[in-house]
Copies of this chain bind each other. A is one copy, B any other.
Amino acid sequence: MATLIEPVARLIEALSRLPGVGPKTAQRLTYHLLRAPEAEARQLAAALVAVRDEVVYCETCFNISTGPQCPICADPSRDHSRICVVEEPLDVLALERTGAFRGRYHVLHGAISPMDGIGPDRLRVRELLDRAAERSRAGEPYEEVVLATNPTLEGEATAMYLAERLAGEVGSITRIARGIPVGGDLEYADEVTLIRAMQGRRAFEVNER
């Protein structure tokens, strides 16, 4: 495109490398940023640089952090006897919003996926096993490890693998419930979800909220 001036072409190119952003969206965003108040583009640029300069991974759980310990690991009010294992930092955020878990986390940074050549060695699996082994050696093993990887092929395989490796090192190993999402419809649920919902049924509690 001979008529596309170079700084604009460069920004379109940089934006279209983002996931879910195609060339058309990148164009639209670029023209928005051209017309938006000067501060908007500059704040975005500064935020981009800051995120790379200031963000590190927590040395304990590998969640994102600005210091060697993330706010959750550093919080003495959290239950230190339980770990919830998730694939991504976004999953920590999603769970934290619910307030349903008061323990600490372990972020794997992915899931085992032989198809993509991702084995346990590419994830933070070793560090999780070390955490569990260390507590076990100290005579106070984790009471519970919740496997909260995604209910996908890869997430299930990862949970299976971790359950095998953690067995004997921790009190109990649990898996988040898979079933019909709240507000969902049995009629439209896929077969595997229905099977999981049926398998995971529990005693009905009259006052359950």
Contacts and interface: CB of A to CB of B under 8 A. Distances in A.
A90 B31 contact: yes
Interface in A168-206: none
A76 interface: no
Given A33-B48, A48-B33, A71 B1 contact: no
Contacts of A66: 5-7
Per assembly, the copies of the chain total 2
Given A64-B8, A71-B3, A90-B27, A41 B51 contact: yes
A15 interface: yes
Contacts of A72: 3
A99 to B, nearest CB: 11
A30 B51 contact: yes
Interface string A69-83: 011100000000000
Given A7-B55, A33-B52, A45-B49, 13 more contacts: A3-B93, A5-B70, A11-B48, A14-B43, A14-B47, A18-B29, A31-B89, A31-B90, A33-B51, A34-B55, A34-B89, A42-B52, A45-B45
